[in-house]
Chains A and B, each alone.
Chain A
Amino acid sequence: MRQAVKHLVLTVLIPMFILPPGCTAEIQDLAIVRSMGLDLLPNGEIEITVSIVNPGAEQSGSQFTVSPISTSVAIMSQTGKNTVEAMRRLSFESSGRLYFSHCETLLLNRRLIAERSLGEILDLLERNYDFRPTLIPIITDDSIARLFAVPSPLDPSPADRINRLIREQHLYSQFPRKNLIALIRSLQTPGQDPYLPELCQEPNPSAAAISDQEAAHGNLAIPNTKLRLCGTTIFSNDRPVASLNPDQTKALLMMLGEAQHSIIIQFPSPVDGADVSLDIFRVHNALDVELFAGKPSYTISMELHARLMELHGRLDPTDPLQYAALEEAGANHVRELARQTVDICLLHSSDVLSFGRSLERKNPQQWQRLSSNWQTILPTLPVKIAVRVHLVGTGFTTSNPNQIPYEFNR
């Protein structure tokens, strides 16, 4: 018994009382940061803006307010010579301890990353254990405080709206979703450049159509602006060099094999030029590199499995020839988008498609020889794009209502 008591004291009580942990904090004393943004001021200081949840207000159901800023959220900003100083100053203003573990998105102003390198900005986030590695960086040209203040009637806070936007858009492969770890990895990997989604705000067409009086009469929450993911920023090394529009983003994701679930593409019908929509639900991609006289040549192959989503015009999907023509038109459309994307990337010496990385895998010696001069070689790289579309279904019907009348119309 005496021995047991001795063991108990040694193993339990000593660590409990001699090594008291300093990381304890009551849950209600935390200032829970849902989203964070970094901006560069004209005087060269860094401005940090955070969107903090107010749990008490959030529980009272104030998320359905039409006010510009929901009372369940507090937006706070502070400046400093560097991010740490700005954060420290911000913590003096906050009533609770700034808690970043539930911060899902990091908004980075394009000015900031154009001036300072991305690696320099991410260094703090990488070192601080408070930040989750799943944090998603987003590029924006707008004021971050203004983005955090965009009303979001269906979400608890604008920050939640941004988080949900990223999550849901990713499911439909509209925009890339690269978290902190993946971003840092791509920055550190030779022969590979990062890319990040872009966020912007735009006028809400519903607000323009409905007057304030009508909205108030119908008790409708119609914000004047709304948030939108509007493209992808591509980097060369750690500097932003160009933007891709949403269609080019789709092509980028298909070429990278990061397209998931569903990609909708629209193109003219091969029969009469009317609109046709395909839902691409599976992508097999490959990037092959071959060396000709010491110079690499690339082939991007994509095999797409798609369903017919919407068909206008008089194309007959039951006709094998027209069916094949439809597949061919879809492939041409994707090939065209891919070509535009590749050209933009190569033009700006951005290796987001990992050409260098594939060369390193295929021929390390050649990569060693070319890597020092890779930025200049990139714009001159020959890249072939091969696309095949397999249309595996036409939906619930095989017929075209524009061509063959329905049974009850006969």
Chain B
Amino acid sequence: MPDTKLNRLLIETDDVLNRLLTNMHKTAAKSAGWSEEGFDPAAGQLLGDEDLQALPVANDLEKNLAICRAVMPSWDLITHTMQFGSGPGNSAALVYLAGMTDAKHLEKTIMPAIQRAWHDTHYDLFGSLKRAILPTSSTEVTDFQAALNWLLYGGVLLFVAGQGSALAFYERGWPTRAVEDSDSERVVRGAHESFVEDLLSNTALVRHRLRSPNLIIETIRLGRMTQTEVALFYVRGLASSGLVQELRARLQRIDIDGVLEINYLSENIQDSRFSLFPLILDTERPDRVVAGLLEGKVAVLAEGSARALLMPADIISLLQTADDYYTAFPVASVLRLLRITSLLVSLFLPALYIAVTSFHQEMLPTRLLTSVAAARIGVPFPGLLEAVLTELSLEVLRKASLRMPNKLSSTIGIVGAVVLGQVAVQAGLVSPAMLIVVAVTAVASFTNPSFALGLSLRYLRFGLMLMAGSLGLYGLMLGSLLILVHLNSLRSFGVPYLPPLEPSYLQTYGDFFIRRPLWRHSLRPPNQMPQNRVQQSHPIGPQSPQSDTEQGGEKDETGS
């Protein structure tokens, strides 16, 4: 038995209730200045798993209930005692957390079932319930650590008098959101489902798309206090075992109080912790997770988070959308090129504008030069300051519109349009050309499929603007090179973040600048380190109906 403070107390008094009340809370209350007889949970100490693990379920029903109340002196802990006969041993109790459990289902289905079981089998209530009556997921727990884990995950504990163990079963009933359309990854075609905050629902969303026994889902509980269920998804035989092991190891190393959102995990497990670039792809879409799993990636989902992490990630996968594969490949390729162009525009346009208007005016066509010069007459700020102020104003507006209630967000739009678009120009604080540049940049940035990448590019844009404002095109090139070098140095779970964009690679695996036809996807990308590289053994191209007919005709002749 481990030498914990609970066990030491147990040996000394052999009275669980007394031990908990007297030695834990009361002592703490006393030391905190509360009265000797008072009971103050706020002054108690942290109760660890090791404290509860060695605390067995007692034969005494009252004792068990008292332990529950002592360990969790919370308002939402419900203990429902049922007396079936006159004897002291003919009683049982249900313990659950209100709100975490479906109380209506419990009252209508489970409680009558328990009563029927008592009437049918007086001699062995516990065994009968365990065998047949309660939900199939019921488990017998013998210590309070396991019992409380069930309780905290929406489970119900059934204590029977004289029984040194409890039955635990799921009756989850906490409020969950319905599956809705994705907010940040909208598609015109394709499925409109997105993940919700409930892990089980999310698991089902993935599982019903990937109905294979090879889809493996492992769970691990992270967060000392939150005990958040975290699930690893991978396809056996596709995902690299080294990758899965590395991910398991990184997750197990996490030791934090709580995991409230999946970003708590991604920040802790990504390779480079100071990079602006998202080294792990996050998505709200189950179909995208399945596509990643089929490429040999590993996904991580967490309870309470409506996003999934996909790893390893590279810059290419961040620029792809689910829509790309739901549209004919020539159209999807054009859209992808447009998206890449927009991304470059959103990153470089303000910096290029500053560099050209402040340093390299000879690069502008003469008519454009005179137009821009005319527009800037009377503007008191230098180009750099004007650009930075305008971009900052837009950022503030963008943040404000995100935080404002929906009814007021249109007001923000009007304020932005009037203040930025009209008054600032009329007051001569900003030139119309600058406004056009900022507006085009903002619109171009909205084509970026990855929200995280969009945020990174937004801050890099400011850096490039400063460099262009200081050194002109030289500064812009220097900044671009620094970004490129940084991208080249990044790794996502050991995989290069910037894959080799050279002709032979693109010819074989390239799905970057253009979306390759699905019938040309014969090999999985090597940078995902899949165990099985072959995606299609015999990739077939489209065939004309005439060739099909000819083949059919031959068959008929052969058959006849």
Residues of A within 8 A of B (CB): 1, 4, 11-12, 15-17, 20-21, 23-28, 30, 32, 34, 53, 55-56, 58-59, 99, 101-102, 104, 132, 156
Is the pair A26, B470 in contact by a Cβ cutoff of 8 Å? no
* Cross-chain contact A55 with B371 (CB below 8 angstroms): yes
**Is residue B372 within 8 Å, beta carbon to beta carbon, of the partner chain?**
yes
A28 and B377 form a contact (CB under 8 A): yes
Q: Is the CB of B358 within 8 A of A32?
A: no
A58 to B370, CA, bound (A): 8
Task: Answer whether residue B461 sits at the interface, using C-beta atoms and an 8 A cutoff.
Answer: no
Given contacts A20-B470, A26-B382, contact A4 B376 (CB under 8 A): no
Closest 10 CB pairs of A and B: A101-B362, A55-B374, A59-B374, A55-B373, A28-B376, A16-B470, A55-B370, A27-B357, A102-B366, A27-B373
- Give residues of chain B (467-515) contacting chain A, Cβ–Cβ below 8 Å: 467, 470-472, 475, 478-479, 482
Interface residues of B in 275-313 (CB under 8 A from A): none
Q: Are B467 and A24 in contact (CB under 8 A)?
A: no
Tell me whether A55 and B470 are in contact in the complex, defined as CB-CB below 8 angstroms, given that A16-B475, A27-B383 are known contacts: no
Please give, as numbers and ranges, the residues of chain A lying within 8 Å of B358 by CB-CB distance: 24-27
How distant is the Cα of A26 from the Cα of B472 in the complex, in angstroms?
A: 12
Do residues A16 and B467 form an inter-chain contact, with CB atoms below 8 A?
A: yes
Chain A residue at minimum C-beta to C-beta distance from B386: A26
Chain A interface SS verdict (over half): mixed
Q: Report the minimum CB–CB distance from A151 to chain B (whole Å).
A: 19
Minimum CB distance partner of B358 in chain A? A24
- Chain A's closest residue to B357 (CB) is A27
Contact of B357 among A1, A15, A26, A101 (CB under 8 A): A26
- In the complex, which residues of chain B have a beta carbon less than 8 angstroms from the beta carbon of A11? 478, 482
If A15-B471, A16-B475, A32-B373 touch, does A21 touch B361 (CB 8 Å cutoff)?
no
Q: Knowing A27-B383, A55-B377, say if A102 contacts B369 (CB, 8 Å).
A: yes
Q: When each residue 357-391 of chain B gets 1 if its CB lies under 8 Å from chain A and 0 otherwise, what string results?
A: 11101100010011111111101001100000000
Known: A16-B470, A55-B373, A55-B377. A99 touches B274 (CB 8 A): no
Are B357 and A32 interface neighbours, CB within 8 A? no
Instruction: Judge whether B361 and A99 touch: CB under 8 Å.
Output: yes
What residues on B are CB-neighbors of A32 within 8 Å? 366, 369-370, 373
Which residue of chain A lies nearest to B362 when distances are taken between CB atoms in the complex? A101
Minimum Cβ distance to chain A for residue B238 (Å):
35
Pick the residue among A23, A58, A99, A104 that contacts B374 (CB under 8 A): A58
**Would B372 and A27 count as touching, CB distance under 8 A?**
yes
CB distance from A155 to the nearest CB of B (A): 11
| B310 → chain A closest CB, angstroms | 27
Identify A26's interface contact among B383, B466, B471, CB under 8 A. Answer: B383
Minimum C-beta distance from B483 to chain A (A): 12
What is the distance, in angstroms, from A64's C-beta to the closest C-beta of chain B?
A: 16
* 6 A-B interface contacts by CB (under 8 A): A12-B467, A20-B470, A26-B382, A32-B373, A101-B362, A102-B361
- A26 — which chain B residues lie within 8 A by C-beta? 357-358, 376, 382-383
Nearest CB to that of A53 among chain B residues?
B370
Q: Are the C-beta atoms of B478 and A28 separated by less than 8 Å?
A: no
* Distance of B461 from chain A, by nearest CB (Å): 15
User: Across the interface, which residues of B come within 8 angstroms of A101, CB to CB?
Assistant: 361-362
What total of chain B residues lie within 8 Å of the partner, measured CB to CB? 28
Question: Chain A residues near B362 (CB, 8 Å)?
Answer: 101-102, 132
Q: Which of A16, A28, A58, A59 is in CB contact (< 8 Å) with B379? A: A28
- A404 and B135 CA atoms in complex are apart in Å by 106
Nearest-Cβ distance from residue B474 to partner chain A, whole angstroms:
8
Interface residue ranges of B340-358 to A (CB < 8 Å): 357-358
Inter-subunit contact A21/B357 (CB<8 Å):
no
Which residues of B are found within 8 Å of A59, using beta-carbon distances?
370-371, 374-375
Chain A residues with CB under 8 A of B372: 27
Instruction: Tell me whether B370 and A23 are in contact (CB under 8 A).
Output: no
On whether the beta carbons of A28 and B373 are closer than 8 Å, the reply is yes
Contact B274–A4 (Cβ < 8 Å): yes
A133 smallest CB distance to B (angstroms) = 12
Minimum CB–CB distance from B488 to chain A (whole Å) comes to 14
| Smallest CB gap from B356: residue in A | A27
User: How far, in whole Å, are A24 and B382 apart by their CA atoms in the complex?
Assistant: 10
A12-B472 contact, Cβ under 8 Å, with A30-B373, A53-B370: no
Alpha-carbon gap, A102 to B375, bound state (A): 18
CB-defined contacts of A27 to chain B, threshold 8 Å = 357-358, 361, 369, 372-373, 376, 383
* B370-415 interface with A by 8 A CB criterion: 370-377, 379, 382-383
Tell whether, in the assembled complex, residue B373 and residue A21 are in contact, meaning their CB atoms are under 8 Å apart: no
- By a CB distance below 8 angstroms, the chain A residues around B482 are 11-12
Over the window 227-268 of chain B, the binary record of Cβ atoms lying under 8 Å from chain A Cβ atoms (1 yes, 0 no) is: 000000000000000000000000000000000000000000
In the complex, which of the residues B366, B376, B479 contacts A34, with contact meaning CB atoms closer than 8 Å? B366
| Minimum distance in angstroms from B341 CB to a CB of chain A | 26
